[in-house]
Amino acid sequence: MKRGVGQGGYSLREKIFLKLRQDILDGKYKAGDSLVEMKLAEEMGVSRTPVREAIRQLELEGLVYSIPNKGVFVEGITSQDIEDIYAIRECMEGLAARWAIERMDEQSLKELENLCELMEFYTGKGDLDRVGELNSKFHDLIFESTNSKPLKQILSDFQYYIGNIRLASLKSPGRAEQSLSEHKAIVEAFKDRDVEKGERALVEHIRNTRLNYEKMRRD
């Protein structure tokens, strides 16, 4: 879904922003690291203007902060940020389930079912990186099917920010199998067009993911 420098569909500023954001989320740039505008421009083979604009966008998103006469530094995603994101998702994905069940066409419903079947196949193979990719597509399809641009944008951004955390959670003992069971319950609710059951199933899935993340932090 997200693309970096060198891919189409975005302006140069947006490409640089997405590349820097991904590097921060991947840990290439850690909290406290300095982002030097001139150095980044040289590395990417661009002028300083789009880099400066991209850094401003990163600052608006809270991923970096600037100190006058000192420079720009990485803030990153904190544990509190992640906890907040999961709490908000619990509230908002229930609404997403309700709207998606009401608005999803039969072709998209079949695609949702196919994604779940692929997740089961790759879970059995132990290929959890692939499962993680399919998991993202599964949720993106639900967001898309709400036909709500604001809700889709909010939830897609949240999913993007916690992608690495979610994959680490998926690789914890027993979580992949539990997650698969939860996704199957979501699919069944969608196939039944049962709004109440779908809302419960999706919220329970997000809650269990959050609880697993909290357990990982304690351990």
- For 175-216, how does the pLDDT look when each residue is reduced to its tens digit (9 = 90+)? 999 999 999 999 999 999 999 999 999 999 999 998 998 888
Q: What is the pLDDT of residue 178?
A: 96
Strand partners, 35: 72
Top-ranked range on mean pLDDT: pick from 79-88, 134-143, 154-163: 134-143
Q: Does 12-74 match 79-218 in CATH topology?
A: no
- Angle at CA 123, nearest 5°, toward 122 and 128? 80
Strand partners, 71: 67
Pick left, alpha or beta for residue 69 (phi over 0 → left; psi -120 to 50 → alpha; otherwise beta): left
The verdict on domain 79-218 having CATH code 2.120.10.30 is no
Res. 3: pLDDT tops 60: no
Res. 136: pLDDT tops 80: yes
Mean per-residue pLDDT of the chain: 91
Please state, as a whole number, how many other Cβ atoms lie within 10 Å of the Cβ of residue 210: 19
pLDDT category at 126 given cuts 50, 70, 90 is very high
Dump pLDDT digits (tens) for 9-68. 678 999 999 999 989 988 899 999 999 999 999 999 999 999 999 999 999 988 999 999
What's the predicted TM-score (pTM) here? Answer: 0.80
The verdict on domain 12-74 having CATH code 2.120.10.70 is no
